[in-house]
A and B are shown apart, each in its own frame.
Chain A
Amino acid sequence: MTLEDLIPDLPLSYAQGKTYGLVFAIDLKMRLDEIQQEHPPVNYATPVATTDGRYVLHGDLLSEVGPDGMFGGTFSYLDQSRFNEVEVIDWSAAQALLPVNIPI
């Protein structure tokens, strides 16, 4: 499933969003960074690097992408034609992609 498939259901409920991880390549991450530099938000969507060179966001952000949502502004600037490049996977699977930080 991709983010494109979820468009009709947005914004998701918090409970549903928490079950998803959003995984995407570095070029989309860089585009997100650009958007947030051009339109500085109050709340930042900050992707985390995975061990396979991609990036992940928690799907619960999709509960805040409506016009009044905390991430609604940033979301409005995203190019929906590229939503099919955002893979939607189970949150547990997304967590498994994250590095285990050892240095303390």
Chain B
Amino acid sequence: MFIGIKGLGVVGSAVGNISGSAYDSDAQAYIDAVESADGQALETDVKEAYNNFFVGLKDDGIFSDLTACCIMMGARTISGALTPLVSSMATPTNNNFVSGDYSRTQGLQGDGSTKYLDSNHLATADDTNDCHLAVYEPVLHPSPSTPAAVIGYQDIGGTFNNAFQLVYYFTGTFIIRCKDANTSYNSRGGTAGFSGLSRAGPSTFTLRYAGNNYVKTATSSTPPATSLYVLAQNHYGVGPQLPTNGKMSFYSVGASLNLATLESRVSTLVSEIGAALP
């Protein structure tokens, strides 16, 4: 009897270990890093949501297309939320965000004046004609009375005369540039969620917004070796510009990819984090 109980104990321990190591290795490394940054463990359901995201990206063949990425939800602290998806990715630098600006289900909220992240990811890190950026905004961005940048850099009129940006430009419109100088507008619907740009060639790029793809004609050019800012944009050689008071719970930058595929994975992650943290 004693042996049997001991044996069951061993079995139980082994199952626990199997369960723990069943996570994708990159997901486990990310979970470990987030927990270290938070200073405490995550809930099992949050860890499973993270794991499902990693596994899903790999199943879709787009995991390696993300070269900078933060899941800004689920973690217990801003430090955890700013943990890069993979340790080789740049860790963003927090400028002026405080704990009260962070929600575990809705991410970081800017103040429209002083707060932004420096992604520490250079616009030159990804090929000019093989690039993407994407964000997830959990609530509809308030209609700005002045332009507000969601992510990117701009050097319009400067030496490089191009930009990689997503900017809300007054009510109902935003401006997008994908390493080009063209001013591409798109109307904004009343939809929160995923937005992204992806360029796979020199002549056009794709905008995804509110579940639809829009192809924009805009010739690319080599960007400056400057960092993309998040919840604002980096005015090359000047500094942060157009900080937003919107919320953001995910961003990624990297190679061109199928934005609808990434949106599906991010949306699932958002749903699972939301269910894990009611």
Seen from chain A, the residues whose Cβ lies within 8 Å of a Cβ on chain B are 14-15, 17-18, 42-48, 56-58, 60-61, 63-64, 70-71, 94-95, 98, 100-104
Q: Which partner residue on chain A sits nearest B96 by CB separation? A: A46
A interface footprint on B123-167 (CB within 8 Å = 1, 0 otherwise): 000000000000000000000001100000010110000000101
Question: Is B169 among interface residues, defined by CB-CB distance under 8 A?
Answer: yes
B241: chain A residues within 8 A (beta carbon) = 101, 103
A98: chain B residues within 8 A (beta carbon) = 113
B276: chain A residues within 8 A (beta carbon) = none
* Inter-subunit contact A60/B154 (CB<8 Å): no
Seen from chain B, the residues whose Cβ lies within 8 Å of a Cβ on chain A are 78-79, 93-101, 111-115, 146-147, 154, 156-157, 165, 167, 169, 175, 235, 240-242
**What is the minimal beta-carbon distance from B231 to any residue of chain A, in angstroms?**
13
* Inter-subunit contact A103/B175 (CB<8 Å): no
CA distance A28 to B154 in the complex (A): 29
CA distance A61 to B156 in the complex (A): 33
* Inter-subunit contact B100/A14 (CB<8 Å): yes
Q: Which partner residue on chain A sits nearest B118 by CB separation? A: A44
B167: chain A residues within 8 A (beta carbon) = 104
* Inter-subunit contact B113/A60 (CB<8 Å): no
CA distance A47 to B116 in the complex (A): 12
Q: Please list 7 pairs of residues, one from A and one from B, whose beta carbons are closer than 8 Å in the complex, sorted by A's number.
A: A58-B114, A60-B100, A60-B111, A71-B98, A98-B113, A101-B241, A104-B165
